[in-house]
Structure 1
């Protein structure tokens, strides 16, 4: 029989991988990887604020990720967003968070677990929070799939069809903040974007439709979680980075298959 901590780790990893990989399809289609990096890096500031005010880390990370994501969305609406601004927000928030964590008096903090994840030590409550967040993300994606997709692939056609592309991009922004909040326990702030992008990028080589790409990405994400946990236990390596390494290996295998054009 599997140990309880392995069951919790597997459930947490699968929930995170499902939500991140499906949402990651939109990140890949919209080329929002750097946007995801900025939001994820800012999550360390959320960790510091949560510890300082004795709040839930998930709540603190989610709040800061949401503020940063909305800030980037606002700048983009004003045509002021650029790689430079994203870089300032991403690395500035990360540096501020690291300094804030260092200044917390009397707190003993395993900062590495927030940077790279520590899924083997998640509690039953953590698993519940992760699945609640992942379930909410997947439910919104299911409900909003058509307008999100048309706004992503053809904004002009979306406007002509009565779909507001800016509203749909805002929905994606909110979902991205939610995924960052639930994923920090699994892969950490520095690797969240990898779990968003790599399964979706691998699925892109195999899919014949956007829906097929989302399903294949989910499969790659779940397989990465399983292989990562197994590899981590076998090799005694950090679990979060091992999950990402497994995703990279599956991506490499996917690229060996002749590319199928979406249609």
Structure 2
């Protein structure tokens, strides 16, 4: 008999994979890895805000992640050198968040659960938030899929097609902020970017169309979540890092045998 908390953890992982698969493909295509890092690291500052103002953790995380994502998106549109800027923002947001939590009176936060996730503690209310957030992200991406692909391929082509690349960048920004808020409790701030990038990178070696890559990335993310949970149960390892380790193992297998599997 499978315990209820394991069933909830598995469902939470599947919900996360549904959102991170397609969104991670755009992160990979647009080379936005640092963008994901900056947004996810800012989530810790959102935790501090929520604890200080007695807000739900998800609300504080979403507010700060969205603010960081919009800031980064605005700087990118203005032509800033994004690799250095994002590196500064990512680590600064994480450091300020950790310091800010220590100033919250009467709170002794278990930072490891925010940094590395605690998927085994997911409640039914958390499941509703996770699946609701994932559905919104998936809906946004499906609604703007062709426009997002065109803007990703070429901003000049997007302009010629009557599209606004800044608007499509904003859609990705909103989706990324929501995924960060959804994923914080599952894999933690330090591992969110890995769940966006690793399954998508593995899927690229197995797909020939953007749609196939998005679907395969979701499947790989789901397998990584279930496999990581199995590893955690079997070896008593931390669940969040185990999930990312499983995703990395799948990536390694695809990198070694991908051409044979595809052929």
Range class of TM-score, shorter chain:
over 0.9
Structure 2 partner of 1:63: 63
Contact kept, 8 Å, 1:205 with 1:257, in 2: the verdict is no
Instruction: Provide the TM-score with structure 2 as the length reference.
Output: 0.97
Structure 2 partner of 1:129: 129
Matches of 1:121 and 1:81 in 2, distance apart?
A: 40
How far apart are 1:154 and its partner, in Å? 2.0
How far apart are 1:81 and its partner, in Å? 4.0
Structure 1 partner of 2:17: 17
Instruction: Provide the TM-score with structure 1 as the length reference.
Output: 0.97
Structure 1 partner of 2:90: 90
How far apart are 1:45 and its partner, in Å? 0.3
Report how many aligned residue pairs link the two structures: 261
Matches of 1:31 and 1:95 in 2, distance apart?
A: 24
How far apart are 1:157 and its partner, in Å? 1.4
2:32 equivalent to 1:32: yes
How far apart are 1:218 and its partner, in Å? 0.7
2:139 equivalent to 1:162: no
What stretches of structure 1 of length at least 5 have no aligned partner?
none
Matches of 1:38 and 1:178 in 2, distance apart?
A: 14
Matches of 2:98 and 2:84 in 1, distance apart?
A: 21
Structure 1 partner of 2:205: 205
Matches of 2:40 and 2:244 in 1, distance apart?
A: 15
**SS of residue in 1 equivalent to 2:187:** coil
**SS of residue in 1 equivalent to 2:185:** coil
1:76-225 equivalences under 5 Å are 76-225=76-225
How far apart are 1:124 and its partner, in Å? 0.7
Matches of 2:218 and 2:73 in 1, distance apart?
A: 26
What stretches of structure 2 of length at least 5 have no aligned partner?
none
Contact kept, 8 Å, 1:51 with 1:57, in 2: the verdict is yes
How far apart are 1:11 and its partner, in Å? 0.8
Contact kept, 8 Å, 1:151 with 1:165, in 2: the verdict is yes
**SS of residue in 2 equivalent to 1:131:** helix
How far apart are 1:163 and its partner, in Å? 1.2
How far apart are 1:258 and its partner, in Å? 4.3
